[in-house]
Amino acid sequence: MRLLNIENSGASDRVFQAVSESLQKSPFSFQGARILSGQEEGAFGWVTVNYLDDRLKQGLETTGALDLGGASTQISFISDSFDGSESPANSVAFRLYGNDYNLYTHSFLCYGKDQVLRMALAHQTQSGPESILDPCFHNGYSKIKNYTELYNSPCVSDRKPTSANQVFTHTGKGNFYQCQEVVKSVFDVSKCKYSQCSFNGIFQPILQGPFGAFSAYYFVMNFLNLTDTSVPLQSVKEALARHCATPWDTIKKQHPEIKEKYLSEYCFSGTYILTLLTEGYNFTAESYSSIKFIKKIKGSDAGWTLGYMLNLTNMIPAEAPDTPLLPHAGYVSVVTIIALVLFALFILSLRPLWPRCSQKPEIV
């Protein structure tokens, strides 16, 4: 919706009109619909992960959140080296359960896996050729693709080649290492006006984990059987290289139940994920093991939606609830002891009225 709003705000308004009309007729208390900002998407994903892990209530060290969508990607984490001053646009302040958090968050529009695929194809079709041999697709893969469709996104529209070709043949050659070079071309790491950056001149403080990586991070790494981050990064790359080098016919035979479009893109998407993490966000072979690829936490989907709902309904208090000085059982014991003491004092206060049965009988 953020991309559509850039490309055609009238169309985006009409989507919201239709959504609003439909939801107003539903039994829900409809509060309005709007486009979530990238910063909100990142921050609420972080709230979801840490809320479900019970880290906020207990004031424990928090988990960073890595979200990969189709159009955008977000990174959000608490870093001791970040107080918000160097790049206020990347700072979101929260007070939750009596603890203050200064969250670093950034959303990269156009860096979701579908838009990055367009950028990688744009990189390879700059001169408007009739065919390309793409290392990110399997050997034996071949599809005719339309230039107008490929460049129909604000992420690539300004790069549309001027050549006369309407279509190109997209052929795969299945080489992970060459694919990595293509993917690297979408990251500009040449400029940084801050003390340190991720890519495209965006400030990023020192990484501080652990991290939870969800949405398409999970879909892709789960398909590739690479969710175990205790496996050394080099071995992960080798496994992905083997997948990319597998011929397209073999891949299709191995996974007849999976849609061809998804199936054909796992080599590219896996390469993008590893390149984004290492070249983009600067995870090292060591810090890679601090990432957990997750789909659900305690039965709930990791993603921005739960965090957004918790915020909207004020379900996470800013202050920790007042904790009683004593637990309930303690109060019962104290009240019982006080009652017994008062009863004893009452009995003693009646002492003058007690019968004098202890006097010795008179001897006649």
Ligand X SMILES: Nc1nc2c(ncn2[C@@H]2O[C@H](COP(=O)(O)OP(=O)(O)OP(=O)(O)O)[C@@H](O)[C@H]2O)c(=O)[nH]1
| Residue 260 or 279 with smaller CB distance to ligand X | 260
**By the rule CB under 6 A, 12 interacts with ligand X:** no
- Interacting residue with ligand X among 16, 30, 97, 219 (CB under 6 A): 219
Nearest to 71 by CA among 41, 29, 44: 41
Does 70 appear as a known binding residue?
Answer: yes
Distance CA 22, CA 6 (A): 24
Q: What minimum distance in Å lies between the beta carbon of 274 and ligand X?
A: 16
Q: Beta partners for 291?
A: 211
| 23-31, 65-73, 78-86, 200-208 -> range binding ligand X (CB under 6 A) | 65-73
Which of 42, 45, 69, 205 lies at the binding interface for ligand X (CB under 6 A)? 69
Cα-to-chain-centroid distance, residue 157: 28
Nearer to ligand X, 205 or 280 (CB): 280
Residue 323 labelled as part of a binding site: no
Q: Where are the beta strands (DSSP E) in 127-250?
A: 131-134, 142-146, 167-172, 211-215
User: CA-CA-CA-CA torsion for 165, 171, 177, 183, nearest 10 degrees?
Assistant: 40
Choose which of 262, 331, 343, 354 interacts with ligand X (CB under 6 A). 262
Is 215 among the residues that bind ligand X (CB under 6 A)?
yes
By CB under 6 A, how many residues form the interface with ligand X?
Answer: 12
Give min distance, CB of 116 to ligand X, in A: 10
Query: Hey, which residues between 302 and 321 contact ligand X (CB under 6 A)?
Result: none
- Contact between 42 and 49 under an 8 Å Cβ cutoff? The reply is no
Name the catalytic one among 7, 21, 40, 41: 41
* 72 is a site residue for ligand X (CB under 6 A): yes
- C-beta nearest to ligand X: residue: 69
Burial of 37 (0-12, 13-18, 19+ CB in 10 A): exposed
Instruction: Tell the residue number behind the tokens 């838009």, with chain if given.
Output: 115
Active site residue 41: yes
Closest CB to ligand X among residues 116, 236: 116
Is 112 a binding residue for ligand X by CB under 6 A? The answer is yes
At a CB cut-off of 8 Å and minimum separation 6, what does 221 contact? 213, 227, 270, 273, 293
Residues with Cβ within 8 Å of 40's Cβ and at least 6 positions away in sequence, in order, are 304, 308
Could you list the active site residues? 41
Annotated binding site: 70-74
Which residues in this chain contact ligand X in the complex, by CB under 6 A?
A: 69-72, 112-114, 215-216, 219, 223, 262
Annotated binding site for ATP: 70-74
